[in-house]
Amino acid sequence: MLKLVSFGGGVAAFSFAANFLLARYLPTSDYGFFSWCLFISQLFFVFSAFGMDRTLVPDLVQSEDKKTLISGSLLLNLVAGSISLPPILYFIWAQSETFSQSITAVAIVVTGILLAASPKAVYDASRKMSSHASMILAEKGIYMLSVAVVLFLAEPEHAFVWVAVALCATRVVSFVMQWSKATIWPGGSIEQAGKSLAGLFQRNFLVFIACCFSVLITHAAPLILKDQLGSSAMACYAIAFQFSLLTQLVISQTTRLEAPTIASAVLRPEPIRPMIWKMLMHSSLVSAGVSIAIGIVGSLTIYYFLPVALHPGIPVLWVISIWSTALGPGRIVNQFTVSMGLNRQYLAATILSGLIAVGLGYFLIQAFGVVGCAINLLVSHMVGIMTQITAVLGAATKRDEDIAKPRTLEA
């Protein structure tokens, strides 16, 4: 755990350093556009992953034919990515004002499908998380150095293009390295891979729909913000959100340790409700401590070291810090939701949250500007978390009562 969290901290530090350099030395509008492209690449990731970023670890832990499962997942990545790429490219080209912006957007979007097809789940299911984290650490370190070199050598008006190319290149190298060291490789015949794809599609369809609505929670308001207030406002929100990524990275690394444990615990004939409460409390304390520290450090950094145009991001950062505090227990309860097969409940929670995010986004941004974008994120996500907690605890209570019945009769 210490090794994994340390690597996660290093990844967070390199990511922060890269974004700090971009925010400090790029024009505010260019930094805002670059950040908008990163949001779009996350949309492409959601479509390409087809919900398998949430379900593949439990599937691998519980599957007997892991190689065929991996083949089916990669095939599904390819099909889903191929279908979703044309409309996304059309959208970004329509939003781009120059050819340089178009090239930047395409280079960043390509990283989305590479992220979706990475063997992260293989490492997690094999409990080799620290090995994978070390490769991500190297990727982020090289990218950070590339950003520094580009900003030093390139002309200011073309710097963000070369940064996007550097991001894409380092992601490609990292992708190849991750698969070369993976403990499980694709296997089986094409026919078996096709059957695996069909099974994954059927099992993940509701999860995929839920992920599409879930991404609205984090992405709907920023897209509305850019459309209504422009790239400069987007830059203020992006720098605050980038600080929260430090919290998200720490939380995601600790959640990776818990995912196989949760998937295995669901299969055992033992009460699970005490485990749920313990994990929720632990993750809440960790995420709260990290979020408060980052809120303080981030506010001081923005005020003293970044351009005045980005200072409106300080109150945004504190709202997002509150959201980050809820992110830890949210990730844990989401793992229980998926591992316990509560796909319909997960779908209902994300649909509700996604609709709230879209419905409130316009009004909150008009009323509060950039801060309204962060408030929208907090409110919509909290609704989804509380809905999932209610569903998981209800299912766990029923499960624990059913497990206890035979023991009572035997006694």
If one compares 129 and 370, the residue with the highest pLDDT of the two is 370
pLDDT one-digit tens code per residue, 181-213: 888 888 877 888 888 889 899 888 888 888 888
**Diameter over CA atoms, the chain:** 79
Is residue 217 within 8 Å of residue 39, measured between CB atoms?
no
Residue 43's CB is within 10 A of a number of other CB atoms, namely 20
Query: What is the rounded CA–CA span in Å between residue 78 and residue 91?
Result: 20
Residue 409's CB is within 10 A of a number of other CB atoms, namely 7
- CA 105 to the chain's CA centroid: 19
* Residue whose tokens read 């990511």: 15
pLDDT one-digit tens code per residue, 233-254: 999 998 888 888 777 777 776 7
This prediction has a pTM of: 0.77
**pLDDT over 90, % of the chain:** 27
Cβ partners under 8 Å of residue 174, min gap 6: 135, 136, 138, 139
- Contacts made by residues 304-312, CB under 8 angstroms, sequence distance 24+: 305/20, 305/24, 306/20, 306/23, 306/24, 306/239, 307/23, 307/24, 307/28, 309/28, 309/232, 309/235, 309/236, 310/23, 310/28, 310/235, 310/236, 310/239, 312/236, 312/369, 312/370, 312/371
**What six digits make up the tokens of 385?**
């978390």
pLDDT one-digit tens code per residue, 90-113: 888 888 878 888 888 888 888 888
Which pLDDT belongs to residue 133? 85
Burial of 188 (0-12, 13-18, 19+ CB in 10 A): middle
Q: What is the mean pLDDT of residues 66-77?
A: 90
Is residue 350 within 8 Å of residue 210, measured between CB atoms?
yes
Which pLDDT belongs to residue 253? 67
Question: Any idea which of 167-176, 300-309, 341-350 has the lowest mean pLDDT?
Answer: 341-350
Query: What is the rounded CA–CA span in Å between residue 375 and residue 267?
Result: 38
Query: What is the rounded CA–CA span in Å between residue 400 and residue 295?
Result: 40
Q: What is the mean pLDDT of residues 372-380?
A: 93
Query: What is the rounded CA–CA span in Å between residue 104 and residue 110?
Result: 10
pLDDT one-digit tens code per residue, 208-217: 888 888 888 8
